[in-house]
Amino acid sequence: MTVLVVDDESSYRMLLRDFLMGEGFEVLTAENGDEALRKLMVIQPEIIISDVYMPVMDGRKLHRAVRQMARYERLPFLFVSGYDDAYTQQAQQDPRYDAFVRKGGAMRELKETIARLTTPEDKRDNPGKVARVF
């Protein structure tokens, strides 16, 4: 399974890359939403994991742009964030977003959320339920 990790913090981006590669995923990375969109023109990941706050194009704007691309309108999109401000809390409550996991949380939660989001909806324990691990 191919994962696109989008985060402006290189240390967190590499931490996720190394963890996910160790779990058997193919991992591609981008440091902001604009770079991610360019990569999406030539790759086709099974899930995107994106920070909320980033320079150039943040995660919420990236999500909006990805959903406008026909081949990605249902691509699982997992947000990660270390912030707990109003902008992030608003995004957590928005039903358009698939899932949120707090940066610095247990990697097991991240792995479980990825597994849930990449399981076809008709085979999930709670179809349509959004994962919010904050």
Distance from the Cα of residue 36 to its chain's centroid:
11
Give the C-alpha separation, 65 to 1, whole Å: 22
**DSSP code of residue 3:** E
Q: Token pair 């790759």 is at which residue? A: 43
CATH of residue 127: 3.40.50.2300
What is the C-alpha radius of gyration for the chain, rounded to an integer number of angstroms? 13
Q: Look at residue 63 in the predicted model and tell me its pLDDT.
A: 94
Q: Look at residue 83 in the predicted model and tell me its pLDDT.
A: 62
Q: Look at residue 85 in the predicted model and tell me its pLDDT.
A: 67
Q: Look at residue 129 in the predicted model and tell me its pLDDT.
A: 46
**pLDDT tens digits, one per residue of 64-98:** 999 999 999 889 999 888 766 666 666 666 667 78
Give the C-alpha separation, 80 to 88, whole Å: 10
Q: Look at residue 72 in the predicted model and tell me its pLDDT.
A: 93
Instruction: Find residue 63's DSSP bridge partners.
Output: none
Q: Look at residue 46 in the predicted model and tell me its pLDDT.
A: 96
Weakly modelled stretches of the chain, pLDDT under 70: 83-95, 122-134
Instruction: Find residue 50's DSSP bridge partners.
Output: 6, 79
Q: Look at residue 27 in the predicted model and tell me its pLDDT.
A: 97
Q: Look at residue 132 in the predicted model and tell me its pLDDT.
A: 47
What's the domain count of the chain?
A: 1
Q: Token pair 């406008």 is at which residue? A: 68
Give the C-alpha separation, 106 to 113, whole Å: 11
Domain span at 75: 2-133
CB neighbour list of residue 69: distance below 8 Å, 6 or more residues apart: 40
